[in-house]
Amino acid sequence: MHAYKNEEFADLLNRADLLTADGIGVVYASKILKKPIKERAAGYDIARKVLEKINYTDHKLFLFGGKPGVAETAKKNLEKDYPDLNIVGMRNGYFKPEEEPEIVEEINNSDADIVFVCLGAPKQEQWIDRNAANLKARVAMGIGGSLDVFAGTAERAPEFFCNHGLEWLYRLYKEPWRIGRMMELPKFAATVVAKGKKYKQD
């Protein structure tokens, strides 16, 4: 909805090398608009796949985002799950705009190839877009609250909710302050249905 209302943000998203359907709403929308996406691919699940792939390789990972201390705890937990993982740096996600060049320098000095950028949407997408050209890393992924889940400061919804397109409901129950953002969901559904009807007419 943010991209729908804000052309600049839509352009920014379209500049990305890879966009994935993090939420079930996008999957439903793709079907209504007759450009079906096969399944949901949540950032957290993609991050786990990347971790599996880079464990036992020389790839170096930087964890960026979350409240102070979260990335450090995430590192400890990830190293238990992936014993040969190369986490070469961490940085919390709270900073002033003028600190941005020094963050990029810190990431570059760490020699990381992959950066998990966990600042929440739309901050992380904007950060990646602004800094990608100056990053030596080949991959920067925006994966929202995943560091909190790796650190154990937030939980992923139980499998039932994830498998039935209901993760949003579980998150609303756990984080009721997200209600403002969740109220965009019915508006998103209505917009998609209206667009779908218009496509049919055209």
- The answer to whether residues 150 and 78 touch, using CB atoms and an 8 Å cutoff, is yes
What is the per-residue DSSP string for the chain? -HHHH-HHHHHHHHTSS-----SHHHHHHHHHTT----S---HHHHHHHHHHHHTTSS-EEEEEESSTTHHHHHHHHHHHHSTT-EEEEEE-S---GGGHHHHHHHHHHHT-SEEEEES-TTHHHHHHHHHGGG---SEEEE-TTHHHHHHTSS-PPPHHHHHTT-HHHHHHHH-GGGHHHHTHHHHHHHHHHHHHHHHHH-
Per-residue x/- track, 65-94, ligand UDP (CB under 6 A): xxx-------------------------xx
> 146-165: which residues touch ligand UDP (CB under 6 A)?
147-148
**What's the min distance (Å) between Cβ of 140 and ligand UDP?**
14
Contact 149, 174 (CB under 8 A): no
Looking at residues 37 to 66 of the shown chain, list those that interact with ligand UDP (rule: CB under 6 A).
65-66
Report, in Å, the least distance between residue 22 CB and ligand UDP.
Answer: 7
- Near ligand UDP by CB under 6 A: residue from 27, 37, 41, 121: 121
Query: Residues binding ligand UDP: what is the number (CB under 6 A)?
Result: 14
Stretch that binds ligand UDP, among 6-14, 71-79, 143-151, 161-169 (CB under 6 A): 143-151
Verify binding: residue 25, ligand UDP, rule CB under 6 A: no
Which residue, 95 or 195, has its beta carbon nearer to ligand UDP? 95
| Residue 123 in contact with ligand UDP, rule: CB under 6 A | yes
Burial label for 65, CB within 10 Å (0-12, 13-18, 19+), is buried
Minimum CB separation from ligand UDP for residue 44, in Å?
9
Q: Which of the stretches 48-56, 120-128, 155-163, 188-196 binds ligand UDP when contact is defined by CB under 6 A?
A: 120-128
Give the length of the chain: 202
Note whether 120 binds ligand UDP by CB under 6 A: yes
Q: Specify the residue, 130 or 197, whose C-beta has the smaller distance to ligand UDP.
A: 130
CB of 118 to ligand UDP, least distance (A): 5
The footprint of ligand UDP (CB under 6 A) covers 65-67, 93-94, 118-121, 123, 144-145, 147-148
